[in-house]
Every structure is written in structure tokens, then in C-alpha cells.
Structure 1
Amino acid sequence: MRRCLAAILMLLACAPPAHAQEDHQHHPAPERLGKVHFATSCAPAVQPAFDRAVALLHSFAYDQADMGFADVLARDPACAVAHWGRAMTHYHQLWDVPVGAGLAAGAREIALAEAMPPASARERALIAALRAYFDQADRIAAPVRAMRYSDAMAKLARDYPRDDEIAIFHALSLIATASPGDRDHARQKRAAAILEPIWKRQPDHPGLPHYLIHAYDSAELAAKGLAAARLYAKIAPSAPHALHMPSHIFTRLGLWDDSIASNIAARDAAKAQGDVGEQLHAMDYLTYAYLQRGDAASAAHEVADLHAITGLSGAGFKIGYAGNAMPVRLAVETHDWASASQLTPIANSTPQVAALVWWARALGKLRARPPAAADGDIAELQKCREALRAANDSYWTAQVDTLLKSAQAWRFAAAGDREAAIATMTAAADEEDGLEKLPLTPGPIVPAREQLGELFLLTGKPHEALGAFEAALDLAPGRRGSLQGKAAAERQISSR
């Protein structure tokens, strides 16, 4: 008995205290953002913090990157290039065009950088290149300033041919200034040609697979981006955007299970970090993927979670697009025309995202049985298009014009004018096919070419319908509506 008691006491003495076990169990996982080294002339003690901030910047974790650069400046106030870093966090090259406070903050950081004692020639050149974007913002359009910045980065890349970070930021600027109407993707291919060799040298750099995914985010190039899509989330799993980005390629290739897994991880990580914009971005892609898998219940759950978030504003494109698009996707893709007809844009929505809702309302009324008038919703679509035209936003003017033509085509169909319906939807499809989507969107809610196939089926033209659905699948492989439409067309053809 004594020996047993002694053994128990010895085990208790050797065991770690309960609080130590609890601390070990709840110790947070180490941060993993990939490996970046951005050489600076700042104090050596702040170099690791500067590298971390740049790694965050490469994964578009803009708020955290800004805090990182601010921390560098607090520890080394003479680090002028950290002001460049803070300015870069306000220039979301593939997202919102900086306006208002964001634009002013970026300009202010560049001015602070230039007012400081000269740093290295390389750093002065980086600061000057970014100034080309923020200068004269009140008089020069954002696309012109973006091209000016890209040209400055091209010169900088020539002046510093061995500097990988300069080359990577130059490649990003090429992607950001690619024309949506360029179906040859010339600038994206130039960017990829810069990034691919660097990735071989720096396989753990987060910016390289990230920007390669963006470079390859098109029907033509998507297959080339699969390697980057498979690895980016493993390189920088602490960044919610890195968890989401692979789904851009998965969506292009119709890999819905992969997209779902990617966006669940991104959604949960963004929610944990309080990043509402990134959370909704992932939820929008997740809703889209669920619908393509035929899982309307899971898509509805995401939309319900969206509606549970209070105080959303559509003023920013990232939140505004996802917040409006998700319920539209659910209603339109499931042909819930009653729900579609009752949707309303979220507060402060910009014309390009409010247009999605007016389009869905019009379809909800026109495709109901019996159809109802949708003239008011179509008039709202026209107002959105004219507001964008007045703002000289040619890309979104064209996109909203596609929605307008689609709604008008369904109005012709509801009125029994089949020829006008098909002609109008064909014009919508041709216009839409001529433009690439933006990085924030999985693609059109329902491609106009797919809708054209639906019209052909309704008008008893299965051969024409089959051609439309096959063309839609060329641009968006695996879309459930196009696959079902193709099967229906083939059944009609075989039954004749």
C-alpha cells in the first residue's frame, strides 16, 4: 500500500500543473504568412516587422498591414519607406478605387515619405512611383493614374532587374491595369511571365501564387493557375484572403467541392478576425458554389447568415456587391420568382450593385406565372446605367447595360414577342462575352448566354439552345443551369 501511495505521489509531482496544461492546450497557433524579404535602409531591428507587414500587404490584409507599418514607424521614425507601405495599404489595386478618406490618407503618407531625409535611391524611386498614382487625383481619372503608376514600376523594374519585390509589385500593377475588354489577356500574361520564374526561386512567397491566381483568372488561362491555387492557402493560412483566393481558379474550372472547402475556411477565418468584407466575399463565392452543386439549402443558410449581420452599407464595392448578390443568386438560380420580385438593395448601394437587385426584381415578375409588369424595375436599371455613364465608368455601364437588355428580353418574352426577346438577349450575351469579370465577382449571376439558351428552349428551338448552352459552358464550366439546359435541349432533339 505504501509503495502504491508513493508511486501516485511521484506521478503527481512530475505532472505539469493544471493551469500549465490548460495554457498549452489554448496556446494560439503560430502566425503563418509566408516568407518575404523586402530590403530597406531602416534600422535592422525593424526589418522582421517590415517584412511581416509586406507579407500582409501581399495577401491584401490591408488593415493589418497598415498597423504593421505603423509599428515599424513607431520603432524607427526615420523609416521613410514605411510611409510608402502605409500608402500602399490604401491603394487596393484590384478592389475599390481609393476615394475620400482613403485617397487622402494615401496621399498624406506619400507626402510624409517625401518630406523625410533621403533614404536609398531605390526607396526614393518606389515612393515616387506611388506618388504618380496619388498625385492630381482631383483632376486625373483613376485608370489613368493607375497606368501612370504601372509605367513607373516598369521603369523601376528595368533599373533594378535583380530586385524580386519590385518585379512582383510591377506584375501586380500589370494585372490591375489590364483591360476587361482584352480577351487576349496580354497584360496578365506579361505579369505571369514575370512571376513564374520568381516563384521557383521563392516557393514560400505569398504574393507570387496570389498574383498568379489573379493573372490566370480567366476562362482561357485558368488551368495554368491550378498549381498556385493548390499552394497559396498552405503558404499563408493565417491570411483569410489566402484561404479564399484558390476558389477563383476552382470556380473557373467548375471544381465546386474545392471552392466550397476554400471558402468555408476563408469565411470562418475572416469572421474570427472581424474582417466583414473578406467574410462576405467568401460567403458570396460559397453561395455560388453551393448553388452549382445543387445544394440550395446550404446556399440559403449563407444568405440567412448575411441577413443576420446588421448595419451593412453598400457604399464600398466589396461589401455592397456580396451583400446584394447573395440573395439575388439564391432567388434567381432556384427560380424563386416570388422572392426575387421582393428583393431590395442594401443601404447606400452604388448603381453597379443596386442594378443586380433591380434586374432580379424584373425577372421575378416577368418569369412568374402569370407574368407581371416590371416597368418600374427596368426603369431603375436604366437609371443605374445612366448614372454610371455620367460618371464615365465604361466597364460598369456595359455590365449594367447587359442586365438591362436581359430584363428587356424577358419582357418581350412575357409579351409573346419571341423574335425580339431572342434578338435582345443575343445582344446582351455578345456584350457580356466581350468583357472579363472583375476579381471581386465569381461571374454573372446567370450568364446572358445561358439565358439565351433558356429562351431558345421556351420557343421550341433546341438546336439553337444547345449551341447557346455549350457556349456558356465554354466560359463557365460546370454551371448547373447550363448543364441542365444542355441536357434538356439534347432530350428535345432526340425526341424529334
Structure 2
Amino acid sequence: MAFSISPVRQSSYRSGRAAMWLGLCGSLGLVAVGGPSMAEEPTASHVQAASAVAPENVVAAGHSHHGEAFDQGPRQAAYLMGTTGQVHFPVTSKHPQVQAWINQGVGQLHGFWYFEAERSFRQAAQLDPDCAIAYWGMAQANINNEKRAKTFIAEAVKRKESASRREQLYIGVLSNWYAFETKNEGDLKRQRAQKSIKELEEIVYEFPDDLEAKAILALQTWQVRNDLPITNHVALGTLLDAVLAKHPQHPCHHFVIHLWDYERRERALASAAQCGQAAPGIAHMWHMPGHIYSGLKRYADAAFQQEASARVDHAYMTRDAVLPDQIHNFAHNNEWLCRNLIFLGRLGDATALATNMTSLPRHPKYNRLPGGGSAHYGRLRLWEIYSQFEMWPELIRAAHESTLSPTSNTPEQIKRLRMLARAYDSTGDIPKFDATGKTLRDWRDRITEDRELAMARAEAEARAKEPSKPVDDKAIASARKSATRSTDETLRQLERAIDEVTALRLARSGDHAEAIKKLNSAGGANARELARLRLAAGKKEEARTELEKYVSQHAEEVLPLAWLVDFLAEVGDEAAAKEKFTQLQKVAHAADLEAPALQRISKRAKAWGFPDDWRTPRVTPTDIGARPLLASLGPLEWVPPTAVDWQLPGRLPGSSEVSLVSSADSKGKPTIVIFYLGAGCLHCAEQLQKVLPKVKEFEAAGISVVAISTDDLPQLEKSIERFGSDVKIPLLSDSDLLVFKKFRAYDDFEAQPIHGTFLVDGQGKIRWHDLGADPFMDVDFLLEESQRLLNPARFQDVTYPTPRPEGTPASALDPMNQVEKAKSEKTQDTPGNPVSPDIEATSRPRNSRA
């Protein structure tokens, strides 16, 4: 598909920043000529240093002219989607099209699609800069960003006199909310919550036919529940029922689900069957029924909803060129879908989804490792999938590719080694099992040495602080404890990992009782493995009781029930095994039978006279409503958008002639495309200064680099003169901004270009991008991430900590020892302050090799 945007204003961009400022003050999409201005004094972050081309007090290139709040959020034009819920929120406006944008924005708010809601409200404000409710909507869309919300609601208040009485009441509620200073105190928070609910009730009283007022009142009551607990769920449910009685497809089905989730989920089943259909273009509306179905252990229905959510998100990302983890709730939805697929025994689907999550683009803002994004959750679920389904060779392979490769995160590194040890043990690769165990023990020993050294240094510093006073034992103990606090958790995790390795070794040698103890101390033991160890240790009844207890706690899950069937058959209770097998036939209706745990069941089923496919088809529930075909909602995995073709004039490295350069020149070769805002943008110059020294490293990785400027050709020459022979990449001119717009490196609302950095692969797919008020500066991250995305099999091993060599002197280990020794020598003749004869000795690690 073409990587394009909705039609945008064709205002020309003036290369002179001062001229641009003057020209746009009267023609910006959000400010009317002679009308109220949204612009405040530019903040320090917006003002560039003075230069010949960037005069003082001119807003920095790429930043909004309306203040810092507008640097964030959507910068591209909205379009009417038609799939965001049927709502009607009457608005006062001189422009006839504003109503449609307000309706869409309110529908998106109901679906918690805040990013797109703000875009819709910005579009309304562009059409009618005096539309007060548009700024109210922008504030509502920033429920999680108080600073921006306050800026937007202040703009709404400025314009509320031209709004209707009803609109003024809505603006007043939100303005009063942000004006109420709680000082983070519980009583004040409760008062603020009560005030907001009373004010929304007044709107309901005065405008009883306003369905949105009832829906927003119900939502607000739920949202402030931590400050003002809900005491009558039934009354609140009745309020929402009143909305749905008038408008059965109102998106407040979403609020019904939140109201009854964790309370009485069965009361939300009707809304769960209609929520996604009420606003089919909003992924979160498909996701929310999954809460209800998961809580009721209806995992197949939950998985349908969560897959629908993922597909809707994927379609939106590709269509509108959005990075996956820029989307609220995206990673959470997909990792929960993975969990439910595991419960259903859908090994192949769970593995594919989790693997895809690890492969998605990472970004310092949106998807970090560690963090709460797809990279983190993908790894978390893959470890779980491979271990629970006993896919040990697959785990080993993935751990030696980028999928589960080593990271810079210590807990993740320990987990990786722990999982590899288990996989090597399970596949019989004892040399690698032993080597992995040694790596963990060496790491533990080094941490122990370092902790001893840190405590010794802390003690020496504490003693030297006030040498004339008697030693304060409590202060010394506190200093020593503080010195090791940062590594406490690392040491605990290493000890647990070593306990698990020890347990596996003990089990292999036949000491099952001790293996159980070690496995319990390690934590996270697999229920099947514990049952087998107990059985081997002669604790048959305990093994059975504990496994049956685990299965009862994990009802409707395939693997636990399969483990129990296998266990019962193994201990000779065939009648009980067949009884549980009958349950398993229904629970495993969608399970992948090639999983090792289920292959064992298939062998037993065949011996009992059952066919190869022993699963019982699921009876479709009658309360799930009319569901669409999942494939009609979007692709199952994220598909990178396709970059448009382009051709621009510019200068090639080492050439004094103007050449035409096109995207076709890089066909088959990945390219970093940098959009920069000309010679007058100091931040752009900083970015290029960071990129140019790294060009050889990009080229060594098979990646070319090109920079596209807003400058015309004469201005482009100035950039080339500035960088001189350091320019090792093509610098191209796009003074008409045609390519900027096609790549969305353009603010449609303010008709100006913005900074952009893109990775386009050899097939013309945009694999990564960054757009915003500032250029992307982390070039090392860009290089590393580009290589990861382009070469999934790429693997970079790491060196793990090891104990220091025998005989290393303490002073060589820690320079602070020399400092403290010098301090002590200065004070050793001070009356009443005898120097400890063992300061350096106390600085030496206890029980260490040093």
C-alpha cells in the first residue's frame, strides 16, 4: 500500500524562520486572523539560540507555534473513520463540518483511544479555531497528561462565552477539576471527585435527554473510584442501562464492562457481546470483553476478542503509519492473548504471536527492554510457552537468535541462563548444562566479592567522616547495608537460579527429596515437574493431592489437566485418568496435539480406543452476539507500511555537481532516510553531526544513509560548505515538501515540516521511524535497532562476570582504598583519634579470592 496521508493544506514553507513566524501567525490552522491566540510566550525548549538564519525568540524548527503542549500528540490531519461509535454531542460552531469531528472525537474518548481523539478535536479546531468544545475534547484526551490537559482546558475557557449553556457546563466541570489543588491528599482528592460528580449530575438534571451526560457521569464515577469508592454498582449500572435503552449500540458498553469487571462479571455479558461491534474501528473496544470472558474462564471467547483487537490495531498501524507500541494497550492486549492461547493449548498461535512481539520495532519512548512494551512481554510469554509446552530445542534455538538473545538487563540475563540450563538438562546436553551452571555460580561469586568490597569501602568512608568521634556501630552497619542495596535483588535472583540448577542435578543423580527442597526454594517450579519428583521420592499421595489442587486452581486450562491425566495413568488409576480425559477432550477443543504433553495423551488415548484426533468440537455459546470474520478486521501480525517512491535533486558525496537521486537507487538495500529542516535548524545540524561519524558503521551493516532537507539547492550548498569533507552521504533538496508530506514528516495543522528519521528496508517497507518536534539523536540505538530488525538471526553473545584472579590486592580492586588510606594518614596523629590499624584490611573483601 502507498505510504500517504489525507489531503493537507498546500501552504508553502518559507525557509526563513522569522518570515515563517510572521506569515503563519495569521494563517495557522488553529488560529484565526485577528481572533484569540493560543500562543503563549515560547518556552525555553522552543527558542533556538540566535543566528543569522534563526533570530532570537523564533520557535525552534519542528516545534509548534502554539506552545509546548502542541509539540506532542498528533501532528497529521484526521479523517472521518465511520467506525468509532454512534454518538451525538451537539456543538456550537460556525463551520458545518465541525459536528462530525466532535462526534468522532467523543466516540474515540469513549473507547479510550486518546491519541486519535485528540487528532479529531484538533481537526475541529482547525476548521473553527473558536470552537470551545474542541479544546475541551483535547483536554479530555489527555487524561494521563495533566500538564497538557490544563493547557487545553484553559483554551476552552477562553472561548466558552461563544458556546452553548450545555457546553459551558461540560467545560466548567473539567476546568474545576484541574483547578482543584489536592496536594495529593486523600481527603482533598475525595472532595474533588465528589465535586466533579455533582457537577456532571447537574448536566443530567438540566439536560435529561443528553445521553452523553449520563455516559460521562457513569465513566467519571468509575474513574474516581480510588478516591471515592463506588457504593452502589446497581445504581450506576441502571444509569448506563438507561443510555443503552435509548441507544442499544452506544459505546458505553465499554463502561458497563469496567463497572462489573472484578465485581459481578456475568452482569456484563450482554455488553461484552456488543462492545466491539459498537465501535469496530477502535481496538480497545474489542479488547475489553476479554476481561469479562477471561474472568469467567471462557478463554476461547476471550481469545476471539483479543485477536480482534490485535487485528484492528494492526490494520490501523499499517494504514496510518503508526509504530505498534505507540498505541495504548497494544502490548497488554497481545500478551494477554498469548496467555489465553496457552490456556487453550494453542501452541502454534501462541508461539507465533509472542515471537512477533519480540520482533516489533523498539523505540526509547515506546518499546524498551526492560519495560512494559512488546519486547518485554514477547520474551516473557515465549519463556513461558517453551517451558510449559516442553519445547526445549526451540527454546535453545530462539535463545541463540535475536528473539531471545542476551540483553543488557540483568534480571532478563539471569532468566535466560536459568531457562537454558533447564533446556540443556531436558535435552541431555550435560556439558552445556554444567557450563551454564558454572556461569551462574561465577556471576554469584563475583557479585559477592563486589558486595564485600562495597561494604568495606562504605565502612572506611563512614569511619573517615568524623575521625575524632567514637565509632558509631549503627552508622557503620547502615553504611554497609546501603552499599549493597542495589545488588540485593540480583544476588537473590542468582541464588534462586543456582538452586534450580542444583535441583536438576540432584534429580539426575536420584536424590529427589533434596531436589524438591531446592526447587521449592528456587521458586516458579512447574506443577508437573514437582509431581514427578514427589512420585520419584515415594510421595505418591502428596504428589497426587498437590497436582489435583493445582488443576482445580487452573480450571479450563489444557496443560494442567493433561498433566493430571498423564500422572493418573502413570500411577495406575486408569478409571480416574479416563474420567479426567473426558474433561480434557472438551477443554482441548482447539489445542495443538503436536505439543509433547499432548503427544503423551494421544498415545494413551489411542490405547484406550480413541481416534488420533480425540478432541471434542466446541459448542458455540448463544450469548456472544453477531461476530465478524476475524480476517475482515485486519492482519494477525503487524505489516510495515510501504514507502512511496521519490526522486530529488541534491549532491552526492565527493561531487560538485547536482544529481537526481531516487528511492530506486537503493532498491534491494536498506536505507536510513533523515528529514531535516535545513541549514537554519541547529538541532538538525546536531543530528547530522552525530550521524556522519557513524556512516561507515551503517555501511558495514549494509545500510545506506541519505538526508533530505527543506532547503532549496542554493541553501543546500550552505549545509555542504558547513560540513565540508565530512559529508559522506547524499544531501537532497525537497523545498516543495512533497516527500516530507508523503512520509508524514509534516504538521498538517500548522502547515510546517517536522523532523523525521526512517529505516526503509530493501523491499521498500518502513521498518522503523521517529517523527516529532525534535530530531532523533540516539544514533547508536538506531544502528543497533536497524541491524536487529533487518537480521532476525543476528546474535551477539555477552561476557558474564567472573571472580577476580587469585591474589588481586584490595587496593588494586578499589581506588577508594588509597583515598581512605591517605585520609587516615593525615589524622593518625590527631589526639583522641587512634587510627584503626586495619582500614585497608577492612576494605578487602571477606571470604573472597582477593
| Alignment TM-score, normalising by the size of structure 2 | 0.40
1:208-253: per-residue Cα shift (whole Å, max 9, x none)?
A: 11122223333x5333322212212222112222233333333333
Pairing 1:478-489 to 2, within 5 Å after superposition: 478-487=556-565
Indicate the residue corresponding to 1:442 in structure 2.
Answer: none
1:337-388: per-residue Cα shift (whole Å, max 9, x none)?
A: 75598857989x9xxxx97x578548626755369486879x9xxxxxxxxx
Indicate the residue corresponding to 2:419 in structure 1.
Answer: 364
Cα 1:227/1:48, change in 2 over 3 Å: same
2:250 to 198, 205, 208: 205
Find out whether 1:292 has 2:343 as its counterpart: yes
Indicate the residue corresponding to 1:127 in structure 2.
Answer: 171
Cα 1:256/1:270, change in 2 over 3 Å: same
1:205: how far off? 0.8
Question: Which residue type is aligned with residue 340 of structure 2?
Answer: A
**Counterparts of 1:197 and 1:407 in 2: how far apart (Å)?**
57
Which has a greater percent of strand?
2
Question: Which residue type is aligned with residue 343 of structure 2?
Answer: Q
Indicate the residue corresponding to 2:259 in structure 1.
Answer: 215
CA contact (8 A) 2:341 2:350 kept: yes
Which has a greater percent of helix?
1
1:126: how far off? 3.1
Q: Secondary structure of the equivalent of 1:116?
A: helix
Question: Which residue type is aligned with residue 287 of structure 1?
Answer: C
1:120: how far off? 4.6
1:171 to 218, 234, 240: 218
1:16-37: per-residue Cα shift (whole Å, max 9, x none)?
A: xxxxxxxxxxxx9972322212
Question: Which residue type is aligned with residue 282 of structure 2?
Answer: A
Cα 1:230/1:245, change in 2 over 3 Å: same
Pairing 1:342-421 to 2, within 5 Å after superposition: 343=404, 357=412, 360-361=415-416, 364=419, 369=425, 372=437, 416=514, 418=516
Indicate the residue corresponding to 1:228 in structure 2.
Answer: 271
**Counterparts of 1:316 and 1:128 in 2: how far apart (Å)?**
37
CA contact (8 A) 2:177 2:196 kept: no
Indicate the residue corresponding to 2:116 in structure 1.
Answer: 64
**Counterparts of 2:518 and 2:234 in 1: how far apart (Å)?**
39
**Counterparts of 2:220 and 2:561 in 1: how far apart (Å)?**
37
Pairing 1:143-158 to 2, within 5 Å after superposition: 150-158=193-201
**Counterparts of 1:90 and 1:59 in 2: how far apart (Å)?**
14
CA contact (8 A) 2:132 2:156 kept: yes
Structure label with greater radius of gyration: 2
Q: Secondary structure of the equivalent of 1:85?
A: helix
1:54: how far off? 0.4
Most deviating of 314-323 and 302-311: 314-323
Cα 1:465/1:257, change in 2 over 3 Å: closer
Q: Secondary structure of the equivalent of 2:274?
A: helix
2:291 to 248, 255, 276: 248
Indicate the residue corresponding to 1:267 in structure 2.
Answer: 310
1:155: how far off? 1.0
1:24-62: per-residue Cα shift (whole Å, max 9, x none)?
A: xxxx99723222122444458333331221011111222
Question: Which residue type is aligned with residue 142 of structure 2?
Answer: H
1:453-487: per-residue Cα shift (whole Å, max 9, x none)?
A: 865664442213322431x33xxx53334434554
**Counterparts of 2:296 and 2:529 in 1: how far apart (Å)?**
23
Most deviating of 414-423 and 291-300: 414-423
2:125 to 73, 78, 81: 73
1:85: how far off? 0.8
Q: Secondary structure of the equivalent of 1:156?
A: helix
Q: Secondary structure of the equivalent of 2:273?
A: helix
**Counterparts of 2:414 and 2:178 in 1: how far apart (Å)?**
36
1:79-135: per-residue Cα shift (whole Å, max 9, x none)?
A: 2222111011111xxxxxx3xxx4322121012122334345544443343345545
**Counterparts of 2:141 and 2:407 in 1: how far apart (Å)?**
27
Q: Secondary structure of the equivalent of 1:31?
A: coil
Find out whether 1:465 has 2:547 as its counterpart: yes
| Alignment TM-score, normalising by the size of structure 1 | 0.64
1:195: how far off? 1.9
1:53 to 105, 109, 117: 105
**Counterparts of 1:240 and 1:173 in 2: how far apart (Å)?**
22
**Counterparts of 2:184 and 2:347 in 1: how far apart (Å)?**
42
Pairing 1:407-446 to 2, within 5 Å after superposition: 416=514, 418=516
RMSD: 4.6
Find out whether 1:303 has 2:347 as its counterpart: no
1:66: how far off? 1.0
Structure 1's unaligned 5+ residue stretches are 1-27, 92-97, 380-403, 426-447
Cα 1:326/1:311, change in 2 over 3 Å: closer
Matched pairs, number: 399
